[in-house]
């Protein structure tokens, strides 16, 4: 995309699947990443960063799988400034119709001295060599100066100028640790535009973190000074306090077009469905008062506000709920609803399931409808998560469960599990409560001893017949594994969630060793 065509348009670079996934508890399997990538495509995102292929074999396979199945947006992956990373990223993106390499190297004094142990001259040389080598394989190469916000402006300008000469097509200026103030960040962008020769030939990008709650403000300040690509994530998820929230920066540019004078290609009516999809996939709930996509974003409780909105929406609403995808109609399904209606609703909710998945979902839907009078969108979304879970055959699955609990009674549980080899094993245990008893029985059967780190039960919908959503995290050795399940019986949901975590622990493979090449840490937050 030429700089001329982007003069009045801001490119949206979504890094939910890379930087967003680095948010604690937000890891996704390949099937889940594919669902999110398809939703981002339908949202109208220009560039999707799929991951960091060299980090592990699993990350490589996820990038390669999604790259071969998503068409439309430019598909991007991250690499450090060395040949091995660049080669690995090329292999991962080979199947992509439109591909971009995102190569990064830190430039700030702190990173140069303590992480890289490199001089300014060495940093410039490494950056130029990496971009030059990358251009032998990729037509589209983005360079990021990690921790640019804390880099000396004169040195940053030198690095940017040299990588442009080496062939970078996009240059990204990250506020990696969310330290910069909006006035400072806009001044830095303005400085680069004044002092870097050839900067008019590239797209100037920004990637802001939210450590001080300023990621969106800094990104918008950069747009005012000429940045024409914003890196962001759905719901603002990401490392530490997160990234610039895509929905917030997009709606700010749309709502205040009179001020910014630029547009994006985002289909804003898909913002809320995409936000919900990601929340369901990761289990990271959106706070009620979250701007644009929070449950309270368009709610008015105060009488004065309610009266004003009734008289004229513009008194207290600067956006229309329907413009971001709040339709107000949650289609209610029941046991007499057909497969066609179910398929249509699943698509409207932002999911793309194939024929066999729809068939399985329909069976689960009918089973749930026998227990619930009405099946709401949230119920469907909870069921769908079971069909975009791990592809590998689980080692253990729940056959039967019964438990006894009450005042004056020692809680106990009897559990029967079926192994993938056909064995059925039954055992019983006592515990501090019914869930504890079930967990102990499951551990006895599987032979896996884990420590429960987190356990949370939430109601999927309202009402006495609502499904319970169990989200837990267990520790096995030095690693943590997550499990989630839903059921109208929270004890059953708890058992299934624990089994999901135990099966993941049993199927885990060790990440591939990676040569650091003067970049010793695999942690990435460019």
User: What average pLDDT does the segment 441-469 reach?
Assistant: 87
Confidence at residue 480, expressed as pLDDT on a 0 to 100 scale: 83
**326-348 pLDDT per residue, tens:** 875 555 677 677 888 888 888 88
Q: E-assigned strands of 72-218?
A: 74-80, 99-106, 141-146, 170-175, 203-208
According to DSSP, the residues that pair with 401 across neighbouring strands are 415
Confidence at residue 280, expressed as pLDDT on a 0 to 100 scale: 86
Tell me the helices (H) and strands (E) count for the chain, helix number first: 17, 14
Confidence at residue 415, expressed as pLDDT on a 0 to 100 scale: 96
Confidence at residue 224, expressed as pLDDT on a 0 to 100 scale: 98
**203-225 pLDDT per residue, tens:** 999 999 999 999 999 999 999 99
Strand order in the sheet with 424-430: 396-406, 409-419, 424-430
Confidence at residue 512, expressed as pLDDT on a 0 to 100 scale: 35
Confidence at residue 478, expressed as pLDDT on a 0 to 100 scale: 83
CB 223 within 8 A of CB 10: yes
Which segments are annotated as binding site for Mn(2+)?
Answer: 19, 207, 209, 243
How far is it, in rounded angstroms, from Cα 299 to Cα 231? Answer: 29
pLDDT of 510 > 80? The answer is no
Q: What is the 3-state secondary structure (H, E, C) of 9-58?
A: ECEEEECCCCCHHHCCCCCCCHHHHHHHHHHHHHHCCCEEEEECHHHCHH
Please give the residue that has the higher pLDDT: either 322 or 511: 322
Confidence at residue 305, expressed as pLDDT on a 0 to 100 scale: 45
Give ∠ CA 232-238-240 in degrees, rounded to 5.
130
What's the farthest any 2 CA atoms get from each other in the chain?
A: 80
Confidence at residue 518, expressed as pLDDT on a 0 to 100 scale: 36
User: What average pLDDT does the segment 375-401 reach?
Assistant: 79
Confidence at residue 6, expressed as pLDDT on a 0 to 100 scale: 56
pLDDT of 525 > 60? The answer is no
According to DSSP, the residues that pair with 472 across neighbouring strands are 455, 483
User: What average pLDDT does the segment 235-263 reach?
Assistant: 97
According to DSSP, the residues that pair with 106 across neighbouring strands are 146
Confidence at residue 374, expressed as pLDDT on a 0 to 100 scale: 75
Which segments are annotated as binding site?
Answer: 19, 207, 209, 243
**If DSSP codes are grouped into helix, strand and coil, which group holds residue 319?**
coil
Please give the residue that has the higher pLDDT: either 131 or 297: 131
Confidence at residue 306, expressed as pLDDT on a 0 to 100 scale: 46
Cα end-to-end distance, the chain, whole Å: 23
pLDDT of 379 > 70? The answer is yes
Mean pLDDT of the chain: 88
Confidence at residue 2, expressed as pLDDT on a 0 to 100 scale: 44
**77-121 pLDDT per residue, tens:** 999 999 999 999 999 999 999 999 999 999 999 999 999 999 999
How far is it, in rounded angstroms, from Cα 292 to Cα 289? Answer: 9
CB 96 within 8 A of CB 73: no
CB 32 within 8 A of CB 388: yes
How far is it, in rounded angstroms, from Cα 207 to Cα 224? Answer: 15
Locate 95 and state its tokens. 């199947």
pLDDT of 519 > 60? The answer is no
Q: Which domains does the chain have, with CATH numbers?
A: 11-282 (3.20.20.70), 339-387 (no CATH), 396-507 (3.30.160.270)
CB 186 within 8 A of CB 201: no
How far is it, in rounded angstroms, from Cα 82 to Cα 99? Answer: 19
* pLDDT tier, 433 (very low <50, low <70, confident <90, very high otherwise): very high
**56-74 pLDDT per residue, tens:** 998 999 999 999 999 999 9
pLDDT of 9 > 60? The answer is yes
Please give the residue that has the higher pLDDT: either 22 or 125: 125
User: What average pLDDT does the segment 442-461 reach?
Assistant: 90
Give the chain's radius of gyration (CA, Å): 25
pLDDT of 459 > 90? The answer is no
Residues 6+ apart with CB under 8 A from 234: 14, 16, 20, 36, 40, 245, 246, 247, 274, 275, 278
Confidence at residue 389, expressed as pLDDT on a 0 to 100 scale: 60
CB 143 within 8 A of CB 101: no
| Percent residues over pLDDT 90 in the chain | 65
55-59, 367-371, 485-489: least confidently modelled range: 367-371
Q: Look-up: residue for tokens 């007499």?
A: 336
**281-318 pLDDT per residue, tens:** 887 889 989 999 998 888 644 454 444 545 666 676 78
Confidence at residue 137, expressed as pLDDT on a 0 to 100 scale: 96
**390-423 pLDDT per residue, tens:** 555 788 999 999 999 999 899 999 999 999 999 9
43-47, 206-210, 242-246, 464-468: least confidently modelled range: 464-468
* pLDDT tier, 372 (very low <50, low <70, confident <90, very high otherwise): confident
Locate 124 and state its tokens. 């410039």
| Percent residues over pLDDT 70 in the chain | 89
Residues 6+ apart with CB under 8 A from 244: 207, 208, 209, 210, 215, 216, 218, 219, 230, 231, 232, 233, 236
User: What average pLDDT does the segment 195-204 reach?
Assistant: 97
Element at 238 (helix H, strand E): none
Please give the residue that has the higher pLDDT: either 319 or 158: 158
Q: What is the 3-state secondary structure (H, E, C) of 442-487?
A: HHHHHCCCCEEEEEEEEECCCCCCCCEEEEEEEEECCEEEEEEEEE
């Amino acid at each position: 995309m030429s700089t001329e065509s982007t003069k009045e348009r801001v490119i949206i670079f979504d890094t939910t699947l890379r930087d967003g996934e680095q948010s604690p508890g937000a890891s996704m399997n390949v099937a889940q990443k594919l669902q999110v990538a398809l939703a981002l495509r339908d949202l109208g995102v220009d560039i999707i960063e799929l991951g960091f292929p060299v980090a592990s074999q699993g990350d490589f396979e996820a990038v390669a799988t999604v790259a071969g199945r998503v068409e439309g947006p430019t598909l991007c992956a991250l690499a450090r400034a060395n040949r091995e990373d660049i080669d690995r990223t090329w292999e991962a993106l080979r199947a992509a119709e439109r591909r971009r390499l995102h190569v990064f190297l830190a430039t700030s004094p702190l990173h140069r001295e303590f992480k890289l142990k490199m001089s300014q001259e060495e940093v410039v040389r490494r950056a130029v060599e990496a971009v030059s080598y990358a251009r032998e394989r990729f037509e589209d190469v983005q360079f990021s100066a990690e921790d640019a916000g804390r880099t000396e402006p004169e040195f940053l300008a030198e690095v940017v100028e040299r990588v442009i000469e080496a062939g970078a097509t996009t240059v990204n200026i990250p506020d990696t640790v969310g330290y910069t103030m909006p006035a400072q960040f806009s001044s830095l962008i303005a400085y680069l535009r004044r002092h870097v020769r050839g900067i008019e030939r590239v797209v100037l990008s920004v990637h802001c973190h939210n450590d001080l709650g300023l990621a969106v403000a800094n990104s918008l300040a950069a747009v005012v000074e000429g940045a024409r690509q914003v890196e962001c994530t759905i719901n603002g998820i990401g490392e530490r306090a997160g990234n610039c929230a895509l929905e917030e920066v997009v709606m700010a540019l749309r709502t205040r077009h009179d001020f910014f004078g630029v547009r994006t290609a985002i289909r804003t009516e898909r913002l809320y469905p995409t936000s919900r999809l990601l929340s369901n996939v990761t289990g990271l709930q959106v706070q009620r008062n979250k701007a644009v996509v929070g449950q309270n974003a368009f709610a008015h409780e105060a009488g004065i506000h309610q009266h004003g909105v009734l008289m004229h929406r513009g008194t207290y609403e600067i956006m229309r709920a329907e413009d971001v995808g709040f339709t107000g109609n949650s289609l209610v399904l029941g046991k007499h609803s057909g497969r066609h209606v179910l398929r249509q609703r699943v698509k409207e909710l932002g999911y793309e399931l194939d024929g066999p998945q729809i068939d399985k979902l329909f069976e689960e839907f009918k089973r749930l409808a026998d227990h619930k009078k009405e099946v709401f969108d949230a119920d469907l979304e909870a069921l769908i998560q079971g069909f975009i879970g791990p592809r590998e055959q689980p080692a253990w699955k729940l056959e039967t469960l019964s438990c006894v609990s009450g005042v004056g009674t020692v809680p106990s549980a009897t559990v029967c599990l079926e192994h993938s080899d056909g064995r059925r094993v039954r055992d019983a245990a006592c515990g501090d409560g019914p869930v504890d008893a079930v967990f102990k029985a499951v551990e006895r059967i599987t032979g896996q001893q884990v420590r429960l780190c987190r356990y949370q039960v939430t109601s999927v919908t309202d009402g006495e017949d609502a499904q319970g959503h169990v989200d837990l995290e267990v520790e096995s050795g030095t690693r943590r594994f997550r499990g989630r399940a839903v059921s109208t019986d929270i004890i059953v949901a708890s058992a299934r969630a624990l089994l999901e975590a135990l099966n993941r622990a049993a199927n885990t493979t060790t990440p591939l060793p990676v040569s650091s090449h003067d970049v010793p840490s695999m942690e990435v937050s460019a």
